[in-house]
Amino acid sequence: MAGIYLHIPFCKQKCHYCNFFSLASVKRKDEFVKILMKEIDLQRDYLQGETVSTIYFGGGTPSLLSVEALQALLEKLTQTFVVSPEAEITLEANPDDLDPAYLARLRQTAINRLSIGIQSFHDPDLEYLNRVHTAGHAQKVIKHAQNAGFNKLTIDLIYGIPTLSNSGWIDNINNFLQMGINHLSAYALTVEPKTALYTRIEKGLMTPVDEMQAAEHFEILMEMMEAHGFIHYEISNFAKPGHYSQHNSLYWLGGHYLGLGPSAHSYNGLSRQWNVSNLGQYLQLDTISKLEPENEVLTVEQRFNEYVMTSLRTVWGCDLEHIMNIFGSKWADELARNVKKFIERGHMYRKNERFFLTTKGKLFADGIASELFV
Ligand code: SF4
């Protein structure tokens, strides 16, 4: 099974924290859709006939595309690839684009899952992040999406925002829990270089992010979600049984995927390739007949490190048998030796042949994984 990701690089305005490739302008939207269609043709052999079980429109803001454009892209994908009739097809959407009429028409397409970028149910947080929508609108939009028949829904929330107190965060989680949604992605606010947030904090114009506060929010989140029957199936993702994101699970379980659109990455098991992060250059595909994405053949060390990093973040854990089969007993033995100190500290545990992070260990996931790298 394989996945397809389409990167739609347009936004109404740039969020202060955003370091994704996207432009705060929709001027070249129609031209872009035409070129994306062409790229689908050019990449037709990448998945080597594997059945596509998930399609994901991400961005940027895919909900800025018309339903007609999304439908045309879906038709093109199904004509070009072997798409499973049961495929999970997700659209990332911003609340301000989702009115009842758009939602009703979207429901007529094969898109069967919506991922709505709510981020917070408090206006001061949304202002800090420079989001377009308001908290009141976020609440309404979720109801509209449910009324339109989208029962596969997920929302994003961000914690660790300086304007968000512990009680505000508990409020946000309670708001989510009351809405009958089965999936939540929750991310710590990170200040990436070259973002407006980074510059503004450097200049003293915005309150810096406090990592201790973010860690407290993460602990609150884990406790509340577990108490309400959600499985913490990846470090930033919680779902009721049977509602895991198939698309992201495919990434985490090492599946193959094709990324289309500027900055999109693809992976075929041995190498990774990625498109240029520049809309003007991407649109030059109009006049050429061959794609030249950048390509990186992964070394065995990189594949091992990626496996350790990704698997430890998931509910499936880091599997010694898999390491033994793919990388050999030397590395499996070394990993088992290196893990001991984390088990003694209470940050990891072993169940049969698999290693997992404990709740405490999840607070240090990246640091632990990097100490286990070869
Ligand atoms: S909507 Fe998403 S992609 Fe667009 S600027 Fe905000 S965070 Fe970035």
Q: Is 15 a member of any domain?
A: yes
- Amino acid 269: pLDDT: 87
Q: Are 313 and 176 in a shared domain?
A: no
What integer is the mean pLDDT of 200-213?
Answer: 96
CATH number at residue 356: 1.10.10
Ligand 1 center to residue 8 CA distance, Å? 11
My answer on whether omega of the bond before 60 falls inside 30° of 0, hence cis, is yes
Is 90 exceeded by the pLDDT of residue 286? no
pLDDT in tens, 94-121: 999 999 999 999 999 999 999 999 999 9
- The pTM of this model reads 0.96
13 assigned to some structural domain: yes
> Among 234, 252, 270, where does a domain finish?
252
Residue 332 beta carbon below 6 angstroms from any ligand 1 atom? no
**Pocket lining: 164 vs ligand 1, CB cutoff 6 Å:** no
The yes-or-no verdict on residue 291 having pLDDT over 90 is no
Domain count, the chain: 2
Residues 22 and 123 in one domain: yes
Domain stop point among 230, 252, 274: 252
Provide the domain limits for residue 119: 2-252
Q: Is the CB of 61 under 6 A from ligand 1?
A: yes
* Cα-to-centroid distance, 131 and ligand 1 (Å): 8
- Nearest alpha-carbon partner for 262 in 28, 1, 14, 68: 28
Nearest alpha-carbon partner for 37 in 6, 83, 3, 2: 6
Residue 6 shares a structural domain with residue 134: yes
Q: End of a domain among 233, 252, 271?
A: 252
Residue 60 Cβ < 6 Å to ligand 1: yes
Instruction: Please report the atom of ligand 1 found closest to the CA of residue 18.
Output: 8
> In this structure, are 312 and 194 located in the same domain?
no
* Of 7, 15, 4, nearest in space to 264 by CA: 7
Find the CATH number of the domain harbouring 120: 3.80.30.20
